[in-house]
Amino acid sequence: MNGHEVGLELERSFGGKASNLVKACGNSALSLVALVAKHFPGFRDHSLYKGHQVFFYKRAQIFVADLWNAFKGKGFGFFYDISSITIFADYIVPAVLRELGILKYSLFLSRSVDSNGEIGSGTEEEVEIRACSIYAVEKMRELLKSKYGKEVLSLELDLWLWCCGVKKPSLKHHRTLSIYY
């Protein structure tokens, strides 16, 4: 979906204003993610995994997180359920989690990743990497809360892990051709 198509959909459904899209969610991050995914096909990040639909919505969640961050959690950036946003499962965070020993890959997957082999979009391996990354970060959140009493958002952990990953260009990550990341 290009900028023209986004503009047409904003005009058709939201009076031509992105602010109306944001207002339509009723200050719910999850509702905004759902609205974005519904109206903009390029944000419908999902896969079929063993007969079940798995929804990641990476770019839609980044949109919400960017609003939250830009408006410092106020006005257009206030979402009462911002803690429901998961990490933005792509390729950097899983690589960092693997480097830290949090994610462990099978020998076959390790060889593929380490040799820069392509992992197909929507394959079991790709879905498992992304889903396990989300799960691992949610467990990290729980641990931080139980051990230190600190409530940390997944989007904050995502940013921290992502920054760690981009500072290490030699970090081996999975390679997947996808419009979703």
- Give the catalytic positions in this structure: 90
* Other beta carbons less than 10 A from residue 151's beta carbon: 10
Cα(99)–Cα(102) distance, integer angstroms: 8
Of 85, 84, 83, 90, the residue nearest 63 (C-alpha): 85
Residue type, position 95, single letter:
A
Residue listed under structure tokens 């969640």:
61
Torsion sign (Cα): 83, 176, 38, 54: negative
Cα(143)–Cα(125) distance, integer angstroms: 26
3-state helix, strand, coil in the chain (%, to 5): 60, 5, 35
